[in-house]
Amino acid sequence: MRFPYGIADFAALIDEAYFYVDRTDRIPLLENAGKQLLFLRPRRFGKSLWLSTLENYYDLARADDFERLFGGLKIGQNPTPLRNRYFILKLNFSMVDPKGDHTAIHRALHQHLNDEINAFDQRYRAHLPQPVKLHEENALSSLRNLLATVSETPHRLYLLIDEYDNFANEVMISPLQGTNRYQELVESEGTIKTFFKAVKAGAEGQGIDRVFLTGVSPVVLSDMTSGYNVAKDLTHLDEYHDLCGFTAGELADALGGVLAERGIPAEQAPGILELLQRFYNGYRFGEGDNPLLYNPTLALYFLDYFDRYGRYPRQMLDDNLAMDRNRIQYVARLPHGETLVNQALNDAKPLAVAQLVNRFGVRDMLTAPRNPDFLVTLLYYFGVLTLAGRDALGKLQLAIPNQVIRKLYVERLQEQLLPRYEDQEQRQAVVERFYASGDLGPLCDLLERTYFKVFDNRDLRWSNELVVKTAFLVVLFNDAFYIMDSEPALGRGYGDLLLRVRPDMRQYQLLDHLLEFKTVGLKAVGLTSADLAAKTREELRALPVIAEKLQEAERQLDGYREALKRADGEGLKLHTHAVVCIGLERLVW
């Protein structure tokens, strides 16, 4: 099998027999949905490949290729009358350099538009009554000339714009005066707004018949207001939930093919699929009860590696998605964003909103900090939160979708809490000792000296038990060795933190760990901070209230241990740990 990692060219996938998940049955739905459509998904979720599919289907210059490309697909059995009926102008705003000031970005956008219009003129020369006249200083004038030329033919234009918000988002997220530059682009007669006003005018009987936009968030369109207010948003409609992304069944079929090809026993499939589910699954976009989706780029990254070498990649997070941590950092810099971003790590209490905010701009986020819905929704559009059901009040719950995204949150917090090289070196030494031996002493010493000192502020101190669990999660997180579970369901209860050794790492000296946390306030033990600091752990452990909490945690761990044995047999090398935190200052186990 051949997996098209990093390939977004539909014709190449079909001609070169790459793995392809057929979504072409949605084309008739799109035609009936409207003529100007917006489809939003996180980065690297297959949007560009879908645009390439539309390009090949509707391009009048590719009519002779239809049977070769689409004959074996769903749409090939029942094509629509509009197949191969359009001129295609395809723009990709990720090609526009976001560096520099407003003037530099203006030039870059106009250069990209002129380049694509020139390529259009070359491609369709046989179908046009005369060449399209380019205006080197004003690409919008070039676009008007293109539309005037197209209007003299029996065909119309289908405009495809990939990553419509890419360079604007990059400008917005930049810590160096990004917001000011962004506002110059989208407000008043800014470059982006002027371009989309021209598109809107072109679709009013001046040659543009259909428009399909992809992007990450609706922020840019919201900030342009009347600049382009005619696109129908398909993002949350159930019938397009899996337009991009893989279902569990599709991934299982692909993995089955790889195992058969390499002669690996099919009995290994459940364990591999469980790992993939933990790391890559968890995305839901429609508000209906839709099946969870896998990130296609991450899934292809794994399948391609496993197909080549017959083993798991050491690093489950593809480096191409690691930059999404910048999106989390951007939201954390907004008013109250730090608290919200860190609260997302609490699996026991998912973030919740009455509804997703579909029309909000940068000004809303900067001037309406009392409403957290803006920030939660933005994290959702960035793909670092996903829909996770409804709470008792019917509010939409949003949670971190999977382990690779959780890693982005954890690494950001690690850098914030332990910024120095020496701190990270010490962290690595104590956690590796814990992984192999279960020795909590050096780990707890590190937490008392460093993490708790930083956690004790209004942005990080949400509730004592959550702070303790988050501190341990952040310091212990290592997806190269472990599958990390916060609040895992174990029997009739929920454990606090489970570190389960990855299947491909079980031959090494790594232990499985289950931790249960309890917290006690200073008043409950009758000590001041000075008294607490002066006592040894043995003295603290002997205090009646501490002993009672430790026994309570041990009783819970006994039940969890039995549940894990029933689920995993004797395969786990399980060590359990009852930990009590006193006043967010001392740890006892």
The sign of the torsion formed by the CA atoms of 578, 413, 322, 371 equals positive
Three-state DSSP class for residue 192:
helix
348 pLDDT exceeds 80? no
Spatial separation of the C-alpha atoms in residues 494 and 82, rounded to whole Å:
54
Spatial separation of the C-alpha atoms in residues 292 and 496, rounded to whole Å:
24
Spatial separation of the C-alpha atoms in residues 322 and 331, rounded to whole Å:
16
Please check whether residue 187 is in contact with residue 73, taking contact to mean a CB–CB distance below 8 angstroms: no
At 391-406, the pLDDT tens digits run 999 999 999 999 999 9
546 pLDDT exceeds 80? yes
Q: How do strand 351-353 and strand 86-92 relate by DSSP bridges? A: unpaired
pTM of the model: 0.90
Dmax over CA atoms of the chain, in Å, equals: 92
pLDDT the model gives residue 455 = 62
458 pLDDT exceeds 50? no
**What does the DSSP assignment read for 82-95?**
TTT-EEEEEEEGGG
Delimit the domains of the chain by residue range.
22-240, 248-316, 323-417, 419-589
Pull the structure tokens for residue 230: 């005619």
DSSP class of residue 504 equals G
260 pLDDT exceeds 70? yes
- What mean pLDDT comes out for the span 324-338? 85
- What mean pLDDT comes out for the span 8-22? 96
Pull the structure tokens for residue 29: 């739905």
Spatial separation of the C-alpha atoms in residues 229 and 225, rounded to whole Å:
6
Spatial separation of the C-alpha atoms in residues 580 and 575, rounded to whole Å:
17
At 34-43, the pLDDT tens digits run 999 999 999 8
Task: Report the percent of the chain where pLDDT is more than 90.
Answer: 64
- pLDDT-derived band at 59 (thresholds 50, 70, 90) equals very high
At 502-525, the pLDDT tens digits run 988 999 999 999 999 999 988 899
Helix/strand/coil percent split, the chain, to 5: 50, 15, 35
**Between these two residues, 336 and 265, which has the higher pLDDT value?**
265
Q: What are the C-alpha distances in Å from 111 to residues 96, 107, 228?
A: 9, 6, 22
Q: Over the Cα atoms of the chain, what is R_g? A: 27
At 80-105, the pLDDT tens digits run 999 999 999 999 999 998 888 888 99
Spatial separation of the C-alpha atoms in residues 57 and 78, rounded to whole Å:
13
CATH of 22-240, one of 1.10.1060, 1.10.287, 1.10.260, 3.40.50: 3.40.50
Q: How do strand 493-494 and strand 497-501 relate by DSSP bridges? A: unpaired
DSSP class of residue 59 equals B
Angle, vertex CA 466, rays to CA 464 and CA 472, nearest 5: 105
Spatial separation of the C-alpha atoms in residues 446 and 463, rounded to whole Å:
20
CB atoms near residue 91 (< 10 Å):
23
